[in-house]
């Protein structure tokens, strides 16, 4: 698909035609503007939406990162989407959906770039240390089972660094800035949904172990000194990798191996 000139809306009919009979994306809820695709997807999930329904918007007025942070969402430029999933995984494995999405994202993005992107545990996709995409996973659990998961993805496509707010210019990037040319957002969207469909299927059928080698192959922090914020507690040490379940393994400065299920990781200069 040739890229549309910037400022042009997504051709959703074309996306649907290419998607065919995927489990994910059979229903696309498309908005020119929305508060947050994750918030709307949660409302739909609460009202009984099916697994695989996707909310997608051209711009978000209240695009969210983790911990109340903001996600810059300029119109007609990038992808902002939220997938509704109803996994059969136990709640303690729900964070693995973020890891499966990270594998899908690096595979999608890698196919549009000359080199491979990297994963910063748990939810950032980087290229040369700059953020290209972020994942926001929100799960609702009840009586020991996962009721639904909303998997939100923000991916910078035709977002020129010059158009970014000053605070992002040093630490964010986009496909156009890396590839040097505008890219068809429809092509990226179709590929992303297909890759996510495949990776999510692998996770459900074979567990995270099936995806782990591909995740590890893109792991950006291996061997690096990191600081991990655990909501009130800070761990400083060396990132070793992830375990069978997807927890980050850090050897702290006291020589103790710590297994971290959720937290914010800051790479430290050595």
Residues that bind ligand BT5 (CB under 6 A): 36-38, 60, 63-67, 69-72, 80-82, 123-124, 131, 134-136, 152-154, 156, 168, 172
Nearer to ligand BT5, 134 or 263 (CB): 134
Nearer to ligand BT5, 118 or 172 (CB): 172
* Residue 9 C-beta: closest distance to ligand BT5, Å: 17
CB-closest chain residue to ligand BT5: 134
**Using an 8 Å Cβ cutoff, are 79 and 193 in contact?**
no
Nearer to ligand BT5, 87 or 152 (CB): 152
* Residue 73 C-beta: closest distance to ligand BT5, Å: 6
* Residue 234 C-beta: closest distance to ligand BT5, Å: 17
* Residue 206 C-beta: closest distance to ligand BT5, Å: 27
Nearer to ligand BT5, 25 or 134 (CB): 134
Q: Quote the CA–CA distance of 116 and 106 in Å, as a whole number.
A: 7
Nearer to ligand BT5, 179 or 210 (CB): 179
* Residue 157 C-beta: closest distance to ligand BT5, Å: 10
Residues with Cβ within 8 Å of residue 172, at least 6 apart in sequence: 130, 131, 132, 156, 161, 164
Closest to 132 measured CA to CA, from 150, 162, 154, 111: 154
Nearer to ligand BT5, 16 or 66 (CB): 66
**Using an 8 Å Cβ cutoff, are 102 and 123 in contact?**
yes
Q: How many CB atoms lie within 10 A of CB 262?
A: 13
* Residue 39 C-beta: closest distance to ligand BT5, Å: 7
CA 162 to chain centre: 23
């Amino acid at each position: 698909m040739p890229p549309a000139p910037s400022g042009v809306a997504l051709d959703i009919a074309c996306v649907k035609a290419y998607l065919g009979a995927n489990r994910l994306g059979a229903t696309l809820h498309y908005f020119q503007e929305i508060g947050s695709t994750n918030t709307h997807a949660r409302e739909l999930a609460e009202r009984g939406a099916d697994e695989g329904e996707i909310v997608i918007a051209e711009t978000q007025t209240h695009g969210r990162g983790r911990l109340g942070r903001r996600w810059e969402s300029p119109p007609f430029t990038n992808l902002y989407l939220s997938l509704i999933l109803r996994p059969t995984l136990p709640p303690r494995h729900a964070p693995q959906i973020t890891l499966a999405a990270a594998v899908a994202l690096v595979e999608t993005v890698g196919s549009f770039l000359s080199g491979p992107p990297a994963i910063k545990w748990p939810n950032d996709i980087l290229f040369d240390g700059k953020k290209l995409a972020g994942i926001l996973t929100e799960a609702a659990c009840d009586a020991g089972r996962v009721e639904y998961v909303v998997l939100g993805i923000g991916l910078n496509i035709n977002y020129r660094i010059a158009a970014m707010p000053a605070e992002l210019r040093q630490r964010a990037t986009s496909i156009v800035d890396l590839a040097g040319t505008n890219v068809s957002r429809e092509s990226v969207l179709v590929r992303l949904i297909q890759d996510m469909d495949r990776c999510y299927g692998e996770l459900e059928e074979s567990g995270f172990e099936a995806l782990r080698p591909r995740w590890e192959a893109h792991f950006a922090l291996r061997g690096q000194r990191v600081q991990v914020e655990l909501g009130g507690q800070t761990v400083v040490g060396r990132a070793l990798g992830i375990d069978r379940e997807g927890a980050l393994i850090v050897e702290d400065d006291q020589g103790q191996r710590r297994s971290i299920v959720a937290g914010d990781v800051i790479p430290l200069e050595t």
